[in-house]
Structure 1
Amino acid sequence: MERVQFKTSINAGVKKVYDTMLGQDTFKQWTAAFNPTSDFEGSWKKGSKIAFTGISKTGKREGMLGVIEENIPEQFVSIKYSGLIDGDREITEGPDVADWAGSHENYTFEENNGLTELTVDIDINDEMREYFKSTYPKALALLKNLCEA
């Protein structure tokens, strides 16, 4: 497991960036870079269970399960991953989740004179390294465009 960092500067206030990143409708728009049907179920509230979902190329519901370990509005969000979604099943044990269960994805928001610096730190296993390194910058570019529109 490797921690990888992505950063972007967004010409918008931190409240707008935070709200756009986590809002139900706008979340779907910027995470479309990962899957055109991206969505989430649950809450961004600290301690809440959250599921990041989408439809696979074969038409099956899939995704990742997590818990919001921390959410300090407009400052920091930490997601701890705990399992997978496979159709209607939640998988939290076994070889499919062993490689990355307990990994984190953290968002840090810092505003300076109306410009927001967004930093994403994510734990990535070897299998997903290249995918995230090529796709996350595309997702952040979509987020930037949404926030600056």
Structure 2
Amino acid sequence: MKKQTINQKIEIHASAEKVWQVMWNNDSYKKWAAAFMPGSHYVGDLKPGGRIQFLDPSNNGMESDVESVTKNQEVTFRHLFELEAGNAGKTLGDMREKFELVEKDDVTTLFVSSDMPEEYFEEMNTATTSALQIIKEMSEQ
């Protein structure tokens, strides 16, 4: 499976703690993740060694391991396989996604690096831009 990597960043006038909360609080996550698919949500433990399922309303999505997490700083997921109606589907191989927050002078820069199958790159790159803008707007309120 050929993969491509999205690399984006956005500057947010808020603390890293506030941005983190917007990103990973269940209610606010649903708002920015809607840029990828309305009704998106996650279930699982956001802790090192935890397992997360990123799902749409039909329980399609992907299952991932939490490789590392440092609250208010970074989280890295290793995407394992696609989910179809909650059941394991196609293996995703060596796909990783990392969110990193760097705070300086009351501005937090959010960096996103996300591997994905080549056929989803354009759509997901555009959705990532939208999601980052929503995170920015929510964090700056």
TM over 0.5: yes
SS of 2:119's equivalent? helix
Q: What is the TM-score with the length of structure 2 in the denominator?
A: 0.94
Structure 1, unmatched stretches of 5+, are: none
State the 1:73 CA deviation.
Answer: 1.1
Structure 2, unmatched stretches of 5+, are: none
State the match for 1:73 in structure 2. 71
Give percent identity, aligned residues only: 26
Query: Which consecutive aligned stretches of 4+ in structure 1 deviate over 3 angstroms post-superposition?
Result: none
- CA offsets 1:106-146 (integer angstroms, 9 cap, x no match): 01100011100000001122101111121110011111111
Q: What is the TM-score with the length of structure 1 in the denominator?
A: 0.89
- CA offsets 1:40-71 (integer angstroms, 9 cap, x no match): 0001111001000012xxxx320110010000
State the 1:4 CA deviation.
Answer: 2.0
SS of 2:100's equivalent? strand
Output aligned runs, 1:32-111, within 5 Å: 32-55=34-57, 60-91=58-89, 96-97=90-91, 100-111=92-103
RMSD of aligned alpha carbons: 1.1
- The structure where strand makes up a greater share of residues is 2
State the 1:88 CA deviation.
Answer: 3.3
State the match for 2:138 in structure 1. 146
Report how many aligned residue pairs link the two structures: 139
Deviates more, 1:80-89 or 1:28-37: 80-89
